[in-house]
């Protein structure tokens, strides 16, 4: 399994770049993961989505899809795509150190 | 990732519920992966973006072997509406949005929605007849220009 170094820590990641073990994640890693995922700066609204994603993953064992994020995070689908142009659920999950949410809708 | 899909352009040519949903689900799913999406609604597929029709899309209950119904039963009055309501309830449980909401959501993801010029001419439709989310009515040539460099899916 490949590794990546974020905030000075070497962590195992899968082929798509998601952390293999969510427990290894720290908030200090987020800005560096974000840059590698094409998000240059994390605004408070980015952080709201990232923390929401992580909390939902920890509560339910899986992160929300874009539709669920749009309905429950308080950020609209339009704004989610502006924050994370390469896919809101996927990118937010990667930055939050949790697995890619599964779901077709 | 060695190769990744950058853009898909999806042609929606059918006006039945089972003709429209797969295209919308694939479009929405592509945007969720960060893939650029164009939707081109042609022929009866235009119903999905026609104001007075998009809230009344029905399952084709005749000539649809997937329903496993005798043809004559499928042809009974009210059958398309009945089957559509049944499926609609199941889809609601799975959080699959109804078509008007789905069209709005897909436009919000940044996908481009377009009507086919030839079909709009055929059915006498103008931009005013189409949902607000529709960016433009375009020709086949303009569609190919939009689709250039990506994959094209016909449904």
Size of interface A-B (CB pairs under 8 A): 45
DSSP A95: H
What gap in Å lies between CA A86 and CA A82, rounded to an integer?
Answer: 9
pLDDT for B126-141, tens place per residue?
Answer: 999 999 999 999 999 9
The sign of the torsion formed by the CA atoms of B138, B141, B145, B149 equals positive
What gap in Å lies between CA A39 and CA A17, rounded to an integer?
Answer: 14
Give the closest of B32, B97, B110 to A89, CB-based: B32
What gap in Å lies between CA B138 and CA B136, rounded to an integer?
Answer: 6
pLDDT for A34-85, tens place per residue?
Answer: 999 999 999 999 999 999 999 999 999 999 999 999 999 999 999 999 999 9
Cα dist. A84→A40, A50, B68, B144 in Å?
10, 11, 43, 28
What gap in Å lies between CA B41 and CA B20, rounded to an integer?
Answer: 10
Pairwise CB contact (< 8 Å): A81 & B110: yes
| CA neighbor of B116 nearest in space, from B149, B138, B84 | B138
DSSP A73: S
Please state the pTM of the whole predicted model.
0.94
Tokens representing B142 are 């303009």
pLDDT for B38-84, tens place per residue?
Answer: 999 999 999 999 999 999 999 999 999 999 999 999 999 999 999 99
pLDDT value of residue B1: 45
The alpha helices in B33-151, defined as continuous H runs, are 71-74, 79-93, 99-108, 117-123, 140-147
Give the closest of B29, B96, B108 to A77, CB-based: B108
pLDDT for A11-28, tens place per residue?
Answer: 999 999 999 999 999 999
Which residues of chain A does B31 touch, with a Cβ-Cβ cutoff of 8 Å? 66, 81, 87
């Amino acid at each position: 399994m490949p590794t990546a170094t974020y905030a000075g820590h070497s962590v195992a990641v899968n082929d798509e770049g998601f952390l293999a073990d969510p427990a290894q994640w720290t908030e200090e890693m987020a800005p560096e993961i974000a840059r590698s995922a094409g998000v240059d700066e994390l605004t408070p609204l980015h952080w709201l989505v990232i923390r929401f994603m992580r909390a939902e993953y920890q509560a339910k064992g899986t992160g929300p899809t874009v539709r669920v994020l749009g309905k429950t995070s308080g950020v609209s689908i339009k704004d989610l795509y502006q924050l994370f142009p390469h896919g809101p659920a996927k990118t937010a999950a990667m930055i939050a150190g949790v697995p890619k949410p599964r779901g077709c809708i | 990732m060695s190769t990744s899909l950058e853009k898909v352009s999806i042609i929606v040519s059918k006006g039945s519920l089972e003709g429209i949903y797969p295209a919308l689900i694939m479009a929405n799913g592509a945007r969720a992966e960060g893939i650029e999406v164009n939707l081109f609604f042609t022929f009866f597929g235009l119903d999905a973006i026609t104001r007075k029709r998009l809230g009344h899309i029905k399952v084709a209950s005749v000539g649809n072997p997937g329903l496993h119904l005798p043809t004559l039963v499928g042809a009974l009055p009210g059958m398309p509406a009945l089957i559509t309501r049944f499926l609609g309830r199941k889809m609601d449980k799975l959080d699959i949005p109804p078509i008007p909401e789905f069209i709005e959501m897909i436009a919000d993801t940044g996908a481009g929605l377009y009507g086919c010029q030839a079909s709009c001419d055929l059915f006498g439709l103008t931009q005013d007849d189409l949902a607000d989310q529709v960016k433009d009515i375009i020709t086949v040539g303009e569609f190919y220009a939009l689709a250039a460099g990506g994959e094209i899916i016909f449904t």
